[in-house]
Amino acid sequence: MNTRFGAAAGPFLIWVVAMVLILVAWQLLVWATGLPPYVIPPPALAFSTLLDNWPRLSVLTGQTLYETAIGYLLGAVIGFLLALAMGQIRVVQRLVMPALIISQAVPIVAIAAPLVIIFGFGITPKLIIVAWIVFFPVVVNVLDGLASVDRDMLNLARLMGGGSLRTFAIVKLPACIGPLFSGLKIGATYAVTGAVIGEWTASSKQGLGTYLLTANAQMNTAGVYAAMLLLTVIGVGSFLLVFGLEVLMTPWRSRSTAPAWAQWKPSQPAS
């Protein structure tokens, strides 16, 4: 367990250093260009605006975070189950895959308008938009994982008397865990974008997306950057959370031997 946490801690520290470097580059850009704060506010001004408006921004952040989390979970579950069905039943894959590709070719903003007409200005359109963005990378990656299962492993499982369900559970399902997390990490980075687009087009409750529009209309550049900081934290935090779960659930990626508790040891002969 300590090894797995150690494997996850290194990339987390790298992300922290990367974000610090971005803030330093931001400040250097302000100094180098000499642009006024209403064009590019320095990081200190954006953070101070965030702190001054935190009572309101915290509520808006909670709303956007709720939309992102629920929509993300819906998209991940639907995408995973659909990929399993498509991987097991070829007819389903041939019928559904073209429709999925066509659906992703339609701009998400164009989809938002019909969703508002059908479901109104509630939370449902926003959840659908987030799920719409998340489920496709999950479907594609899980399908790739199922398609790349070692055929020798499948043949060996069948020769040992494994039925279709048991072979699926022991061989195929573990093989798609890695690709699943690849899709989940891609979806985590885009889920917050879907929530913001949903708030722009189908919002009855204010979130960080609506705050961005209001601050932009009022020429409140520091407020815009403060909201961008919060959205970045949500996106990066979501990615790191999924990455941490991946490290915990795929220990074979960080070690070549089984944990001590899982290692088989022959019994000592009686003296």
Same domain flag for 108 and 1: no
Total domains in the chain come to 2
**Residue 128 covered by a domain:** yes
The residue that leads in pLDDT, 30 or 10, is 30
For 100-143, the pLDDT digits (tens) are 888 778 888 778 778 888 887 778 888 889 998 899 999 989 88
Same domain, 189 and 218: yes
Say yes or no: 95 and 2 in one domain. Answer: no
The predicted pLDDT at position 105 comes to 80
Residues 66 and 8 in one domain: no
CATH of the domain at 131: 1.10.3720.10
Q: What is the pLDDT of residues 173-214, one digit of tens each?
A: 777 888 889 889 999 988 998 888 888 887 667 888 888 888
Model confidence at 256, pLDDT cuts 50, 70, 90, reads low
Average pLDDT in the 252-261 region? 55
The reply to whether 85 and 213 lie within a common domain is: yes
Same domain as 174, residue 92: yes
> Do residues 68 and 93 both lie within one domain?
yes
Q: Minimal CA–CA distance to 69: which of 243, 237, 217?
A: 237
30: pLDDT strictly greater than 80? yes
The residue type at 203: S
Which residues constitute the domain of residue 23?
Answer: 1-30
59 and 134 fall within a common domain: yes
Does one domain contain both 207 and 133?
yes
Q: Does residue 133 belong to any structural domain of this protein?
A: yes
Output the six-digit token pair for 198.
């949903």
Do 93 and 21 share a domain, yes or no? no
Contacts of 33 (CB under 8 A, 6+ apart): 40
Identify which of 98, 94, 91, 100 has the alpha carbon closest to the alpha carbon of residue 138.
100
- Assess whether pLDDT exceeds 80 at residue 246: yes
53: enclosing H helix or E strand: none
Residue 194: inside a domain, yes or no? yes
- Rounded to an integer, the average pLDDT of 8-24 is 77
Reported as a pLDDT band with limits 50, 70 and 90, residue 8 is: low
Give the residue among 250, 228, 230 at the shortest CA–CA distance from 238: 230
Q: Do 15 and 49 lie in a common domain?
A: no
Regarding whether 226 and 122 lie in a shared domain, the answer is yes
In a domain, 258, yes or no: no
269 in a structural domain: no
Is 265 a member of any domain? no
Averaged pLDDT for residues 145-171: 69
Rounded to an integer, the average pLDDT of 156-163 is 66
